[in-house]
Amino acid sequence: MSTAINMLDGVKPNPIKVTRDVSLLSEEVKDINLSVVDRLEALEDIINLEVGDTALLRLRNLEREYGMRQLYIKFEGDNPTGTQKDRIAFAQVYDALRRDYDTVVLATCGNYGVAMAFASYLSGLRCRIYIPSTYHTERIEEMQAYGAEIVRVPGTYEEAVMTSSREANENGMYDANPGGSNTPLQLKAYSEIAFEIYDQLRDAPKYLACPVSNGTLLAGVYRGFVNLYKRGKTSRIPHFIAGSSSNKNPIVSSFNRGLKHCEDLKPEKIKETSINEPLVNWHSFDGDEALYALIHSQGAAEPISDQKMRMMTSTLLKTDGFKVLPAATAGLIALLQKHQQEPFPNDRYVAIVTARN
């Protein structure tokens, strides 16, 4: 018998206040009497107002505690629904509108579903969200508040992705799941994070750390820095560090085993908790892309325990006043662990923190 999982990881941002400007732009996006070009221009204006340009913040107190120089977090909690997922949600809703779809379909365990529901709501698209029947997240109410239809299905998250993708393909709806044909679009959306970091640092950091699950975030930011380096904008590509739950993520496992391709884990050996759920899976849909980034940046991958993630959440609140969810700290912890194993030289280091509490 399956055990119900209470999704306490769900981000709890302040209620989203849609400004008058965004409301007016949203009405333009929804107006089918306007040309597609005009509707897309209005949606692009919403994206420019609401998504990205998140804060890059220096953790001076944590620097002192760990004996580091210039340690930054890229705080993706500044996005409207509280995570980096808004970046790919709005990018895919834009693509769906451009290609004349009226419904988007996806599977989620929480945060991505809220981002897609919100982006769809502002764009006038229908949104069908598949959630495994054993998963319970407080964010379902938010999804429904933005008009999303919730579909409960048996099995794991990975199986929900496959079920929802099949329905999208069979019924002419837009498949917004990770992996497959949408991977380039999602990677491009996340590559903007690299450009934003460059805008503030004027070069690439020596190391860049990410929490990883499907691997799309890490792979996209890597692509962004490769682009900057090839254009002569940066002097280097960062070494990438992946942090994820101990023995429960294929990317970390495959990298540390020296594999060239991401190898699935055995589903029956995966145990989710309210802390690690955003990070664990038996199949990472963009695992090969993320593994490639780790290998070619001469990076590292660190397994992180629930206890360490919980402790880092408390530490960030105590030392620098940031309220973030435990799973969002996995990359930062991995970076600090590498520093403790062999102290880093004085340089600039960035960890992406993906969610706020």
CATH (domain of 172) = 3.40.50.1100
Last residue of a domain, one of 134, 160, 179: 179
d(CA 276, CA 7): 10
> Within this chain, do residues 144 and 249 fall inside the same structural domain, yes or no?
no
> Within this chain, do residues 318 and 187 fall inside the same structural domain, yes or no?
yes
Written as one string, the DSSP assignment of 235-288 is S--PEEEEEEETT--HHHHHHHTT-SS--PPPGGG----TTTTTT--S--TTHH
Domain of 36? Answer: 5-47+84-179
Order of strands across the sheet with 149-153?
Answer: 149-153, 126-132, 103-107, 174-175
> Within this chain, do residues 70 and 194 fall inside the same structural domain, yes or no?
yes
Closest CA to 108 of 271, 253, 281: 281
pLDDT digits (tens, 9 = 90+) for 69-128: 899 999 999 999 989 999 999 999 999 999 999 999 999 878 899 999 999 999 999 999
CA distances to 159, 211, 269, 327, 347 from 285, in Å: 12, 15, 18, 19, 33
Mean pLDDT to the nearest integer, 250-256: 96
- Residue burial 191-217, b: 16+ Cβ < 10 Å; e: rest: bbbbebbbeeeeebbbbbbbbbbbbbb
> Within this chain, do residues 294 and 240 fall inside the same structural domain, yes or no?
yes
Q: What total number of domains does the chain contain?
A: 2
pLDDT for 270: 83
> Within this chain, do residues 230 and 138 fall inside the same structural domain, yes or no?
no
Name every residue whose Cβ is closer than 8 Å to that of residue 183 and which is 6 or more positions away in sequence. 216, 286, 289
On the question of pLDDT at 2 being above 50, the answer is: no
d(CA 95, CA 27): 18
CA distances to 28, 113, 152, 201, 236 from 109, in Å: 31, 7, 11, 34, 36
> Within this chain, do residues 266 and 324 fall inside the same structural domain, yes or no?
yes
Last residue of a domain, one of 119, 144, 179: 179
Last residue of a domain, one of 148, 179, 210: 179
d(CA 179, CA 73): 27
> Within this chain, do residues 71 and 165 fall inside the same structural domain, yes or no?
no
> Within this chain, do residues 61 and 99 fall inside the same structural domain, yes or no?
no
Look at the alpha carbons of 313, 315, 318, 320 in this order and tell me if their dihedral is positive or negative.
negative
pLDDT digits (tens, 9 = 90+) for 303-349: 999 999 999 999 999 988 888 989 999 999 999 999 999 999 999 99
CA distances to 72, 112, 208, 344 from 348, in Å: 8, 30, 9, 10
